Structures are given as C-alpha cells and as structure tokens.
Amino acid sequence: MPTPVEAVKTYILAKDGNRPFLMRQAFSEDIALEMVVKTDAISFPSTASGLNAVEELLVRRFNVEYENIYTFCLSQPSETDRARFQCHWLVGMSAKATGQPLRVGCGRYDWHFNEHGKVVRLVITIEVMKALSGAELDGVMCWLSSLPYPWCSPSQALLSFPPQHDLREVEAYLKQAQ
C-alpha cells in the first residue's frame, strides 16, 4: 500500500521520465483528473477519467511533446495527509521537436487518496506558465537540475532563481507560496 509521499513521487517519476507503467503503482483504476488552466501558454483537456486515459494524457502525450521535464512539489505530505494533500508545484520543460519554447510554470496539486493509498482524484491547477526562447534552456535547466528532486521548498527554488525577466511571475508565485 503506497503512502501519499510514495504515490506523489511515483507520479512525478512516471510523468517526467516517460514511464506510464509507474502510474499503476500510484493511481487507482478509476482515477478522475481535472485540469484547471489559467493561462494561454499551454493547453490540456479539462478532464480525464480512468487510468488508461490519465496515463495517455499526463505521460504518453505529454512526453511526445516535451523533454527535459523537471516537476517539483513544493511541500511533502505529512502523516495526517492520508486522505487528501494539497501542494504548490513548479515545472520546467522544453519542446521536444525544437527545444523551443522552453516552459516554466507553477500551480497547485489537490490529491485525493483511497484507503489503499492510491490516488482516486487529482486536480491540477496551472496558475502561471511562461514560454521562453530556447536560448534560455541552459540557464533554466542548470537551475532546475540543481534543485532537490522531486521535493523542493519555495525558498530553495528561489535561492538560485535565474535572472530572466520573463520569469518574474513564476518568482512572484514562489514567493507567495513560502
């Protein structure tokens, strides 16, 4: 039986590493996904139901389009978060075909777990998503790859935050998430 920490970490490893088989360790067969996208910089269907559909959307299709994916949860579940856990997240990735645009974003996860520790409902809110030129790839990826993965506090992310002007909304989000 996975713990919330294990389920969340397994999801991140599945999504970022293009490992759809891992989703079965973290998600229930009847998983319900809701996407709340508050930006025009990226698009997703608003819902998906069932493990196969969620695997297809969050892992297979996502990894056809993106590479160099780093996702961080900005806090960890505690022992009291066995049924529900909410946290902020930070993500960076580049377009697979051209390396451009590079995307950096943040938002919230709202995880719901069943009695077996598997995710039965996930709401992903994308609050901010910034598109940068591929020329920013090295600096942003050096920053992301230096952060503790997959758990990173907002203050850790801000310590070495890159100086790109286009990322000011991401920086402001991380500051308010502290």
- pLDDT tens profile 133-151: 988 999 999 999 999 999 9
Q: What is the CATH number of the domain that holds 159?
A: 3.10.450.50
The predicted model gives 65-73 an average pLDDT of 96
Q: Is the pLDDT of residue 42 over 80?
A: yes
| % residues pLDDT > 70 (the chain) | 99
- pLDDT score recorded for residue 120: 98
Amino acid at 107: G
CA 163 to chain centre: 22
Domain housing 38: 4-177
| % residues pLDDT > 90 (the chain) | 90
As a whole number of angstroms, the distance between CA 18 and CA 21 comes to 9
Quote the number of domains for the chain. 1
Question: Contact 146/136 with Cβ under 8 angstroms?
Answer: no
Q: Is the pLDDT of residue 99 over 80?
A: no
- pLDDT score recorded for residue 98: 79
Task: Work out the mean pLDDT of the chain and round it to a whole number.
Answer: 95
Q: Is the pLDDT of residue 176 over 90?
A: yes
pLDDT tens, residue by residue, 153-169: 999 999 999 988 899 99
The predicted model gives 93-114 an average pLDDT of 92
Non-local (6+) Cβ contacts of 33 within 8 A are: 47, 48, 49, 53, 54, 57, 58, 121, 122, 123, 124
Tokens 């503790």 found at: 148
Q: For residue 33, what are the CA distances in angstroms to 7, 17, 25?
A: 15, 20, 16
- pLDDT score recorded for residue 101: 86
- pLDDT score recorded for residue 61: 95
Give all strands (DSSP E) within the chain, no chain letters: 27-37, 47-49, 66-73, 84-95, 102-113, 119-132
Q: Where are the alpha helices (DSSP H) in 18-75?
A: 23-26, 51-55, 62-65
pLDDT tens, residue by residue, 1-24: 789 999 999 999 999 999 999 999
Q: Which phi and psi angles does 135 have, rounded to 5°?
A: -65, -20
Q: Residue 86's pLDDT band (boundaries 50, 70, 90)?
A: very high
CA angle 164–141–172, rounded 5-degree value: 40
- pLDDT score recorded for residue 1: 79
